[in-house]
Chain A
Amino acid sequence: GIQVEQSPPDLILQEGANSTLRCNFSDSVNNLQWFHQNPWGQLINLFYIPSGTKQNGRLSATTVATERYSLLYISSSQTTDSGVYFCAVGSGGGSEKLVFGKGTKLTVNP
């Protein structure tokens, strides 16, 4: 099945810094989503982005499907950005099961 690798596994930043999280996948996909898991365990959808670029406030994401990677950019990080960021992909037609990467744990210090 499809493999998803995220890097780096851990990232520690000072408040105000920028960061880039990467997601590589092993096969073509038609579904790619980025999630933020808060300390209580809830997964919050950030982007549905199987291709192209999207922006939402301080966050933006780019997926280059032909090269099988996606990037999540966080600018001017805040302590509330801390948590684990997951990339999840799907490659089937019709009903989709998401295959998740292992995540990037982000810690933003004040």
Chain B
Amino acid sequence: KAGVTQTPRYLIKTRGQQVTLSCSPISGHRSVSWYQQTPGQGLQFLFEYFSETQRNKGNFPGRFSGRQFSNSRSEMNVSTLELGDSALYLCASNRQGGMETQYFGPGTRLLVL
């Protein structure tokens, strides 16, 4: 079974631009979560989607948004990029969300100049 895939793997943007990241979960997994990892703040939860509905959201500004499609693929969008948005963005999936193993993708490295 294929693992969680994320595209693109690397991205360079400039301040003020917007960016869309994509995540394809493991086949059969309906829950997709997003995390941001920075050297200063560590790994922080962004949001979780299940059956196209956002079920949980972390403490990030409204510039960070996401969605999930009927095939469980998910996208996250960051508008009006700031230098501090430079980070590794990780996507994770599992079958139902909740209390079960999370499987992470390889991540997207975003650099904002």
Contacts and interface: CB of A to CB of B under 8 A. Distances in A.
Given A95-B31, A97-B45, A103-B42, A40 B106 contact: yes
Per DSSP, chain B at the interface is: strand
Contacts of A43: 90, 92, 104
Interface size class of chain A, counting residues whose CB lies under 8 Å from the partner chain? 20 to 34
Interface string A16-53: 00000000000000110101000011111100101000
B97 A41 contact: no
Nearest to A102: B42
B45 A99 contact: yes
Report the contact-size class of chain B (Cβ under 8 Å from the partner). Answer: 20 to 34
Interface of A: 30-31, 33, 35, 40-45, 48, 50, 86, 88, 90, 92-103
18 contacts: A31-B99, A41-B109, A42-B106, A43-B90, A45-B101, A48-B101, A86-B43, A95-B48, A95-B50, A95-B55, A96-B56, A96-B98, A96-B99, A98-B35, A100-B42, A100-B43, A100-B44, A102-B42
